[in-house]
């Protein structure tokens, strides 16, 4: 099967910077993020009262600082993400909460951090209510509710329904409210996120489930969160988000609850991929062109240790070629793979591991391959598999290119390891 290519098959620049110059300056593989694209996506969501970035999509300090300076607050799913947010300039407390801790469990370190710093918590299990209430009686929490259904471009990105570990099962709401009352903990917010790529049919169901749940909780509710999962176009056939329609559905729900409760309710949105995916590019160099039976392979110097989405989800990323010298407009079907000692190290595959080809220009060793829409769940899911170093990261801001994370060195690979004395 041959996949279509979303963008031009030949790319010579990334956000106005010549690719050859970027490769020579920063090396490959390397991640680049366009600051203006991130700012543009933030502006698209300004109708919402609060934009809360799901930093698990891209947690580089420079990216967190950029969104903070543009009025965005953050969601943290670990004590490490709380630490990152604080290092990027976010306060622990405020209105709206600058950092919200969202998870399905408290590990001991995270619970201590929440208690010591007064962080607001979005709880995803009854046990979290018990553990929080014992430490913070009379505190305030948000409940993340699993409404009993979900949606996603992959089974692995579906965060609703009974096959998902996420959230409090909707039928356990009364039990959770009783548990909160036991410790005089007030439920001030509700959060629903059923997965990635939510369509409007599913969104309407989520809005209705949110309203039903809020009415059961009562007038202590001051915040409702629409969650994330906003769609990002990767293919020509993908349709971008109708932000106005998306907002109108949630705003209608919010207004109905305001009429019932007699007070204002803040409407939050929690984008991750939506803010950063299209800003990012993984720049790689073609290091081998080889024929395997009827298939032609471009093997590049980045692997699933750098970008795991294709091997995890069969995720599609647009690709383009930048020639190091002269180029050709002629194209051919190729399979794009990486350097790892692993058969699954293929960037052109579908969910289930089915390898497919991509129509790309005829290229040679030394030319550059750009993997596009790679700003979300790229670097953050990197590994040192095969003892490969983490790539560098660069923020492109107008005419400037800022190194925001250096490439790992061989010494970094063994940092913290030791051989027992004999």
Alpha-carbon distances of 355 from 3, 251, 286, 373, 405, rounded to whole Å: 11, 43, 19, 20, 32
Computed from CA positions of residues 348, 34, 365, 305, in that sequence, does the dihedral angle turn out positive or negative?
Answer: negative
Length of the chain, in residues: 422
Are 8 and 319 spatial neighbours (Cβ–Cβ below 8 Å)? no
Query: Cα 100–105–111 angle (5° rounding)?
Result: 60
Query: Cα 277–42–390 angle (5° rounding)?
Result: 35
DSSP class per residue in 333-384 = EEEEE-SSSSTT-BSSEETTTEE-EEEEE---TT-EEEEES-SSSSGGG---
Beta bridge mates, 396 = 34, 401
Are 376 and 197 spatial neighbours (Cβ–Cβ below 8 Å)? no
Positions annotated as catalytic residues are 341
Alpha-carbon distances of 208 from 31, 45, 166, 202, rounded to whole Å: 40, 21, 19, 10
DSSP state of 275: H
Helices (H), 126-271: 126-135, 173-182, 200-217, 243-261
Contacts of 220 (CB under 8 A, 6+ apart): 186, 187, 188
Alpha-carbon distances of 408 from 233, 317, 411, rounded to whole Å: 31, 25, 8
Tokens 């110097």 -> residue = 301
Which of 63, 123, 54, 116 shows the shortest CA–CA distance to 89?
63
Structure tokens at 51: 């934009």
Burial zone of 293 (CB within 10 Å; 0-12 exposed, 13-18 middle, 19+ buried): exposed
């Amino acid at each position: 099967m041959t996949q279509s290519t979303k963008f031009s098959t030949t790319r010579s620049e990334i956000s106005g910077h010549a690719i050859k110059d970027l490769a020579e300056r920063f090396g490959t593989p390397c991640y680049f993020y366009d600051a203006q694209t991130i700012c543009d996506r933030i502006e698209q969501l300004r109708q919402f009262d609060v934009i809360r970035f799901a930093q698990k999509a891209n947690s580089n300090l420079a990216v967190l600082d950029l969104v903070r300076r543009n009025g965005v607050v953050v969601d943290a799913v670990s004590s490490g993400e709380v630490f990152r947010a604080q290092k990027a300039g976010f306060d622990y407390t405020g209105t709206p909460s600058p950092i919200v801790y969202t998870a399905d469990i408290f590990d001991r370190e995270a619970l201590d951090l929440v208690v010591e710093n007064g962080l607001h918590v979005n709880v995803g299990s009854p046990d979290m209510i018990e553990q929080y209430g014992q430490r913070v009686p009379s505190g305030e929490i948000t409940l993340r509710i699993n409404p009993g259904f979900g949606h996603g471009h992959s089974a692995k990105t579906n965060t609703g329904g009974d096959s998902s570990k996420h959230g409090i099962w909707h039928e356990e709401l009364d039990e959770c409210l009783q548990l909160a009352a036991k410790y005089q903990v007030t439920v001030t917010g509700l959060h629903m996120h059923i997965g990635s790529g939510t369509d409007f049919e599913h969104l309407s169901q989520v809005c209705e489930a949110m309203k039903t749940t809020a009415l059961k909780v009562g007038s202590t509710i001051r915040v409702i969160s629409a969650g994330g999962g906003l769609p990002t176009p990767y293919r020509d056939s993908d349709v971008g988000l109708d932000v106005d329609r998306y907002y109108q559905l949630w705003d209608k729900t919010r207004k109905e609850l305001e009429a019932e409760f007699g007070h204002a309710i803040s409407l939050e949105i929690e984008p991750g991929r939506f803010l950063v995916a299209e800003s990012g590019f993984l720049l790689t160099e073609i290091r081998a062109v080889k024929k395997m039976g009827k298939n032609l392979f471009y093997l590049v110097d980045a692997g699933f240790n750098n970008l795991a989405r294709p091997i995890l989800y069969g995720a599609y990323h647009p690709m383009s070629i930048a020639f190091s010298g002269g180029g050709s407009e002629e194209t051919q079907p190729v399979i794009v793979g990486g350097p790892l000692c692993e058969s699954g190290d293929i960037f052109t595959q579908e969910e289930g591991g089915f390898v497919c080809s991509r129509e790309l220009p005829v290229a040679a060793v030394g030319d550059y391959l750009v993997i596009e829409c790679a700003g979300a769940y790229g670097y953050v899911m990197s590994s040192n598999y095969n003892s490969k170093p983490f790539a560098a990261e660069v923020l492109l801001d107008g005419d400037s290119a800022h190194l925001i994370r250096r490439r790992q060195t061989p010494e970094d690979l063994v940092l913290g390891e030791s051989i027992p004395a004999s």
